[in-house]
Amino acid sequence: MAQIIITAIGSAGDVHPLLGVGRTLATRGHRVVFCTHPPFEAAVQREGFVFVPIGRAEDYAAALANPALWHPRTSFKTLWALIAPVLQPHYEALDALRGPDTVLVGTLWAFSARLLQERHGTPYVSVQVSPSTLLSAHAPPAHKRLTIPRGLPLPLKAALMTLIERGVLDAVCGPHLNALRAGLALPPATRILGRWLHSTDGVLCLFPDWFAAPQPDWPAQLRQSGFPLFNDLDDGQPDAELEAFLAAGEPPVVFTAGSTLVDSAHYARAVLHALRATGARGLLLGAEAAPNDAQRGRDMPRQRLLQRRYVPMRALLPRCRALVHHGGIGTASLAFEAGIPQLVTPFAHDQFDNAQRVADAGCGVRLDAPIKDAALAHALARVLHDSRIATRCAQVRAKLAASRDGCADAASFIERFIPTVTPNAAHAQPPRTVTA
C-alpha cells in the first residue's frame, strides 16, 4: 500500500472527480492525502482523507466572486493571480509530506507537484479533467476568443498553437514559475501548459475516447479512464418539498450555472421566459436571486418552478427531462449518464470546448453567453423536441452503462506508479502536519 497525495486546484468540477478517485484508492488500502482549497475541507474530511489546505478561504471566495474570472478576455490572468502565490508554500508542503512510498496526483494547476517530480523524482500522475487543456494542433480546443479553425493546414495550426502558448500563456505563467524554478536549481520552462505541465511518468485523462479522441500530439504516456461519475456530496437530509415537486408532474428541466458568476436576477428571468415559451417545468439551482411571485405571474405557479441552492446531480438528473448548464465537464458527464439532452451555455475557461463536444456528440446544443431570453427559449425547445438528440442521448447512456467504472480505472492507472519499497522504508518518513 502507498501514500497517494492528490492536489486538486480549481472549482468543484476539478475537485469532485478527484474525491471519487481518492475514495476508490482508499478502499484499496492506500493512505490518501488531499490538497485543495479550504472551502472543500468538509468534503475531504467526510471521505476520511488527510486534508492539506491550499491558500486561504477568503482569497478563493474573492476569486470566484471576481467578474474578471468569468470573462473570456481576463479569466486566465485572474486565475493565475490566485494560483501563483501558493506555488512555493504548496511545494514545501508536498516536500514535507513525501516519503519513499509516495505517488503524487495533480490536476492541471498542480505545478508544485510537477516541480517536486523534477526536483526529487517523486512519481507523479498529472490529471486532465477535460480535453481542452491538452493543447493539440490536430484538434485545437474551442474557445470564444482563441479558437484555431480545424480546417487549416496542420503546419499552420501547429505554428498558431505555439504562438498562443509562448506569446499568451507563457507570458502570464512564465515569470513567476521560472523564478521559483531558479530557486530550485531548475532551468526555465517554456510551453508550460502545452508541454511542461504533463508528467513524464503518466498522464490520466478523466474522459472517454468517444468524447475526445486521442491525438498524435498528446503525451505518449497517457491513459483515458472514462468519466469519474462521482457526485455523492450530500448531507443526507431528506427534501420533502423537492420530492413532492418531482412527483407533481412531468420531469422538470434543470437549470444551473455551476460555480460561474452570473447576474442571477437576469438568469432567473431568462429561465422564466424559457419555461413559459416551452411549457416545461423547471428546477433552478444555485442562483442567489429567486423569482418572486410578481415575476412568476399567474402562469408560473410554484408547481412549475422550484429553486434550490444545491442538489446532488447524479441522483437528480435521471428524474429530469433536460439539463441547461454552464459546460462543466463533471456536470456534462452526469447528464450523459442520465441519458438526458443538454443545453450548454459556456461562459469561460474549458466550458466552450466542453460545450462544443456535447454538441458534436449529438447530445445537445451549445449556446454561448450572454444568455438572452428568446435564444434560450428557442434552444431549449430544440433539445426538448429533437428526436435525434433523444436517440443519441439514449445511445450514450447505454455506452456509459456498459463501460468500466471511471474511478476504478483511474485508480488502477495511478497504482502503476507506486514505488517498490521495503515495509520499514515506507514508514521511515511519517507524514507531518503541514499547511500550504
Residue 181 reports pLDDT greater than 80: yes
Q: Once rounded to an integer, what is the mean pLDDT over residues 4-19?
A: 93
Q: Once rounded to an integer, what is the mean pLDDT over residues 342-358?
A: 92
Q: What is the pLDDT of residues 391-430, one digit of tens each?
A: 999 999 999 999 999 999 999 999 999 998 755 554 444 4
Q: What is the pLDDT of residues 382-402, one digit of tens each?
A: 999 999 999 999 999 999 999
Residue 47 reports pLDDT greater than 80: yes
The amino acid sitting at 42 is A
> pLDDT class for 238, splitting at 50, 70, 90?
confident
- Pairwise CA distance, residues 390 & 403, whole Å: 20
Give me the pLDDT at residue 52, please: 97
Among 84, 83, 60, CA closest to 12: 60
Q: Once rounded to an integer, what is the mean pLDDT over residues 313-332?
A: 94
Q: Does 370 sit behind a cis peptide bond, omega within 30 degrees of 0 on the bond before it?
A: yes
Which residues, 6+ apart, have CB-to-CB distance to 18 below 8 Å? 6, 8, 34, 105, 107, 127, 228
Q: Once rounded to an integer, what is the mean pLDDT over residues 290-307?
A: 65
Q: Once rounded to an integer, what is the mean pLDDT over residues 80-92?
A: 95
How far is the CA of 409 from the CAs of 268, 413, 434, in angstroms?
Answer: 39, 6, 30
Residue 155 reports pLDDT greater than 70: yes
Give me the pLDDT at residue 247, please: 93
Cα–Cα–Cα angle for 298, 304, 308, rounded to 5 degrees: 120
- Pairwise CA distance, residues 156 & 136, whole Å: 13
Q: Percent of the chain beyond pLDDT 70?
A: 90
Max Cα–Cα distance, the chain, nearest Å: 72
Which DSSP category does 328 fall into? -
Give me the pLDDT at residue 70, please: 82
The amino acid sitting at 275 is L
Q: Dihedral angle at the C-alpha atoms of 32, 35, 36, 39, nearest 10 degrees?
A: 70
> pLDDT class for 290, splitting at 50, 70, 90?
low
Residue 170 reports pLDDT greater than 90: yes
Residue 192 reports pLDDT greater than 80: yes
Residue 289 reports pLDDT greater than 90: no
In the block, cell 508542503 appears at: 93
Residue 234 reports pLDDT greater than 80: no
Residue 13 reports pLDDT greater than 80: yes
Q: Once rounded to an integer, what is the mean pLDDT over residues 285-290?
A: 66
Q: Once rounded to an integer, what is the mean pLDDT over residues 133-162?
A: 87
* β-pair type (222-224, 253-256): unpaired
CATH number for 3-229+405-426: choose from 3.40.50.20, 3.40.50.300, 3.40.50.2000, 3.30.70.1380. Answer: 3.40.50.2000
- 162: number of CA atoms within 13 Å, CB side? 7
- Pairwise CA distance, residues 214 & 205, whole Å: 10
Residue 433 reports pLDDT greater than 50: no
Grid cell digits, residue 314: 447524479
Residue 431 reports pLDDT greater than 50: no
Give me the pLDDT at residue 434, please: 42
Q: Once rounded to an integer, what is the mean pLDDT over residues 100-113?
A: 97
Give me the pLDDT at residue 292, please: 56
pTM for the complete prediction? Answer: 0.88
Q: Does 149 sit behind a cis peptide bond, omega within 30 degrees of 0 on the bond before it?
A: no
Give me the pLDDT at residue 337, please: 96
Q: Which CATH architecture describes the domain 240-401?
A: 3-Layer(aba) Sandwich (3.40)
Q: Once rounded to an integer, what is the mean pLDDT over residues 282-309?
A: 71
Q: Once rounded to an integer, what is the mean pLDDT over residues 278-285?
A: 95
- Pairwise CA distance, residues 117 & 106, whole Å: 11
Q: Percent of the chain beyond pLDDT 90?
A: 71
Give me the pLDDT at residue 8, please: 96
- Pairwise CA distance, residues 434 & 411, whole Å: 25
Q: Once rounded to an integer, what is the mean pLDDT over residues 216-235?
A: 84
Give me the pLDDT at residue 429, please: 46
Q: Once rounded to an integer, what is the mean pLDDT over residues 265-269?
A: 87
Judge whether 3-229+405-426 and 240-401 match in fold.
yes
Lowest mean pLDDT among 78-92, 125-139, 189-203, 224-238: 224-238
> pLDDT class for 87, splitting at 50, 70, 90?
very high
Give me the pLDDT at residue 420, please: 86
Q: Once rounded to an integer, what is the mean pLDDT over residues 245-268?
A: 86
How far is the CA of 213 from the CAs of 196, 209, 397, 413, in angstroms?
Answer: 22, 5, 18, 19
The amino acid sitting at 209 is D
Domain layout of the chain by residue ranges: 3-229+405-426, 240-401
Three-state secondary structure call for residue 324: strand
